[in-house]
Amino acid sequence: MALRILEGRSGVWCQGTSGTLLLPFSHAEDGLLTAEGRAAVARSGIAEERPPRRYSLTVVTATDCNLGCPYCFQNTAPAEPGRFDPPRIPRAVLDDATIEKIAAFTGPRMRSAGTDRLFVLLFGGEPLLNPAACRALLSRLGRLAPVTASMVSNGVLLTPTAAKSLSALGLRSVQVTLDGPRDLHDGLRTTRAGRGTFERIIANLAAAQETTDLRFTLRINTTAAVLPRLADLADQLADRLDASRCVFDVAPVLNYAGLYDAGIDHTAAEVSAVLSGYAAALGRGFEVGWPGVGACGFCTERDGTTGAVINADGTLYSCWETIGKPGYEVGTLQNGYTEYPEHAWVSCGEFAARESTTGSASFADRLTVGLLELLRSHRRRAAALTAGVS
């Protein structure tokens, strides 16, 4: 994988599959590393491919969803006027027989990969529409190898009972999406009957923090309306949640298949707004993830080498973005990976990259550099404060 080289205020940032390195300006020229820069990268090891430490599975437990978000990449068309239930990918529900096939499929591939641990991502739709299968899957896979699990959930059904039962089976983190402060969120992230969900989600997360050790990634789906209010949202959340156990992650909404225009124009002002939101979140004690370009255990290597993405009906896909989409099937649990057209293997973010323009690519680069500089400054201040106290 090629290095990503970005010039910032503090120097030249180099991102590889195994880490990020900050080099002096003199180590790059016209966007390329000098001999001295290449030597520094080689010494750092950030460009080295490291063998996987665990086998990774994304498993859909239910393709249905209890929400009707208009921008969801699993929608197949907009909702009819006045309705909140856009049509979605075909319905499928994980059952015990398919769970056994998942276990039979996974064991040999773990041995081929030389791994003895599992990472499992519970996915949907909304995975908690089928909580019994979530528990059964983690329990069954736990007999294969030690399991660390995460889940992508809308949070509406994440009751303390559900959180505790899954935590006991290896669930360690949950990604939950918010669409801005309550008034904006409740205008977009509604039930399929049109009811707002903000209060229920936050109450569930607060209760889960009280009863489990779960950590949360708060994915802030950001539209043009949300951008100037990211700091307000950070304040609202910090007043209700333990910020030290939450990652604040700003994600501009993508216009998948032209179904929803979020009004993001990829301007310098929008970069500044996102960075201001991150700064506010850091100030309130939230974690902010270090941007990277590491390999994905699910889709970087083809045909189940390091991981697999499995729909509830046992169909294999390359990536979470293609689950349930006709023409993107790459095999089945029963037959393994079969011949498929080249376009069917999609890696993380590839759809976004296909649709990207020069402006959006530049936007991503500016945002990455700005966030790297922000986190560096934040860490330096924290280290100085710690040194002062000691």
55-295+349-382: CATH, from 3.30.420.40, 4.10.110.10, 3.20.20.70, 3.90.700.10? 3.20.20.70
- Single-letter amino acid code for the residue at 159: T
Q: Are 25 and 36 in contact (CB under 8 A)?
A: no
pTM of the model as a whole: 0.94
Q: In whole numbers, what is the pLDDT of the chain averaged over residues?
A: 93
The secondary element (H helix, E strand) that includes residue 60 is: strand 55-60
Residue 267 has phi, psi (to 5 degrees) of: -100, 165
pLDDT > 90 in the chain, percent: 83
Q: Per residue in 192-211, pLDDT tens?
A: 999 999 999 999 999 999 99
- Rg of the chain over all Cα atoms, to the nearest angstrom: 21
Tokens in use for 109? 């591939």
Q: Per residue in 180-192, pLDDT tens?
A: 999 999 999 999 9
Boundaries of CATH 3.20.20.70 in the chain? 55-295+349-382
Pairing of strands 215-222, 55-60: unpaired
Cis, bond preceding 180 (omega within 30 deg of 0): no
Between CA 250 and CA 233 the distance in angstroms is 11
Q: Per residue in 363-372, pLDDT tens?
A: 889 999 999 9
Between CA 296 and CA 301 the distance in angstroms is 8
Residue 268: burial class (beta carbons within 10 Å; 0-12, 13-18, 19+): exposed
